[in-house]
Amino acid sequence: MAKTLGAIVAALGGDLRGSSDLVIERLAPLARAQAGELAFIAQARYAKQLQQTQAGALIVAPALQDAAAARAPCIVCDDPYLYFARLTQWWRREHEPLPAPRLDPQASIDPSAQLEPEVDVGPFAVIGPAVRIGRGARIGAHAVIGALAQIGAHTVLHPRVSIGTRCVVGARCVLHPGVVIGGDGFGFAPQQGRWVKIEQLGAVRIGDEVEIGANSCIDRGALDDTVIEDGVKLDNLVQIGHNVRVGAHSAMAGCVGVAGSADIGAHCSIGGGAVVLGHLSLADGVHISAASVVTRSITKPGHYTGLFPIDDNASWEKNAASLKQLNRLRERLKALERALEPDLSKTPEA
């Protein structure tokens, strides 16, 4: 696995400062890169690390090019982080090219399924009746696609992905192992202390260029569909309840839970382990910190947080005990303020 700097620039652009014949054996993080390895400097504030890096070559923005070129050959470009992202894609295509598509003879493909050309189906995949799969899609081993579902062109289902009946996945999506699309939403009507199931008659509709992490779940809607718009990125072990809408290009880190009928705007981000309660709305451009709980609609873009700060356990115990008295403390403070009103009126601080 190796490429010259010249080959990289020929494929991806950028201005090369230094020898185009330099051989790059690996992409590496700046702090640990060695000779033969190519690293990037995302921001000018990492300029100090430039002094210590052992990297064989660097990707840098124009502002750093002279300092960088003094240390190693450079690719100069406007957005080194974005360049690096594209480079990882090219590097993978060059070094781990996908095998030619084939329909594994051990897959179970219903005769009524319609597969466009160049679809790859792995061993033991199960493709149900009237499924439609777009050109160049790759269906991993043990994937299960229910009746009438649709998979868009060039979408990749990794092994063990499950797509429920009538669900739709767009083009150029990536679904990681264990993802479940279209399990039943959690809906029951109470009857004398028991629960009566509400069959979930909707489905899930996923747009284009959506990525969903391992073992994440997106439930089918009760009547209408659950909707994941274009460009959404979900990490692992994320739970999306029924009839949720996730707006375009929003991202959620691992272990996020979104309850039913929440409506999340576009370009939002939700940190790991956060919970969004049901039947509420987040405006476009809302950013929720990790482990925070959204208990009300948020109508203004911005950054929102709610988590108990970690402390050594003994300090936490004292403060947590006091927390249960907080409202009472507030009342006691108010009583003191009233008692002191004449005094306070005399002090300049008041």
Interaction between residue 323 and its own copies (CB under 8 A): yes
Residue 75 makes CB contacts below 8 A (sequence gap 6+) with 5, 8, 9, 14, 15, 16, 17, 57, 58, 59, 60, 83
- By beta-carbon proximity to its own copies, the closer residue of 132 and 267 is 267
Interaction between residue 54 and its own copies (CB under 8 A): no
Distance CA 288, CA 86 (A): 28
Interaction between residue 46 and its own copies (CB under 8 A): no
Q: Determine the 3-state secondary structure of 189 from DSSP.
A: strand
- By beta-carbon proximity to its own copies, the closer residue of 2 and 85 is 85
In whole angstroms, the minimum distance from the beta carbon of 86 to its own copies comes to: 7
In whole angstroms, the minimum distance from the beta carbon of 228 to its own copies comes to: 14
The catalytic residue among 142, 158, 176, 242 is 242
Joined together, the tokens standing for residue 328 give 């009472």
Per DSSP bridges, beta strands 132-133 and 114-115 are: parallel
Q: Which residues ranging from 328 to 347 are in contact with its own copies (CB under 8 A)? A: 329-330, 332-333, 335-340, 343-344, 346-347
Q: Contact, 198 vs 189, CB < 8 A?
A: yes
- By beta-carbon proximity to its own copies, the closer residue of 116 and 328 is 328
Instruction: Candidates 9-17, 45-53, 111-119, 231-239: pick the segment binding its own copies (CB under 8 A).
Output: 231-239
In whole angstroms, the minimum distance from the beta carbon of 9 to its own copies comes to: 19
Site for its own copies (CB under 8 A): which residue of 15, 114, 223, 299?
223
End-to-end CA distance of the chain: 71
- By beta-carbon proximity to its own copies, the closer residue of 70 and 319 is 319
Distance CA 34, CA 295 (A): 48
Interaction between residue 194 and its own copies (CB under 8 A): yes
Interaction between residue 213 and its own copies (CB under 8 A): yes
Interaction between residue 301 and its own copies (CB under 8 A): no
Site for its own copies (CB under 8 A): which residue of 29, 49, 70, 114?
29
Q: Is 242 a catalytic residue?
A: yes
Joined together, the tokens standing for residue 165 give 């009946």
In whole angstroms, the minimum distance from the beta carbon of 8 to its own copies comes to: 14
Local structure of residue 72 (DSSP, 8 states): S
Interaction between residue 49 and its own copies (CB under 8 A): no
- By beta-carbon proximity to its own copies, the closer residue of 117 and 197 is 197
Interaction between residue 13 and its own copies (CB under 8 A): no
Q: What is the 3-state secondary structure (H, E, C) of 139-170?
A: ECCCCEECCCCEECCCCEECCCCEECCCCEEC
Residue 257 makes CB contacts below 8 A (sequence gap 6+) with 238, 239, 241, 274, 275, 276
Interaction between residue 170 and its own copies (CB under 8 A): no
- By beta-carbon proximity to its own copies, the closer residue of 70 and 308 is 308
Interaction between residue 117 and its own copies (CB under 8 A): no
Q: Determine the 3-state secondary structure of 81 from DSSP.
A: helix
Distance CA 332, CA 239 (A): 43
Interaction between residue 233 and its own copies (CB under 8 A): yes
Q: Whose CA is closest to 176, among 133, 218, 208, 215?
A: 215
Interaction between residue 101 and its own copies (CB under 8 A): no
Q: Would you name the residues annotated as active-site residues?
A: 242
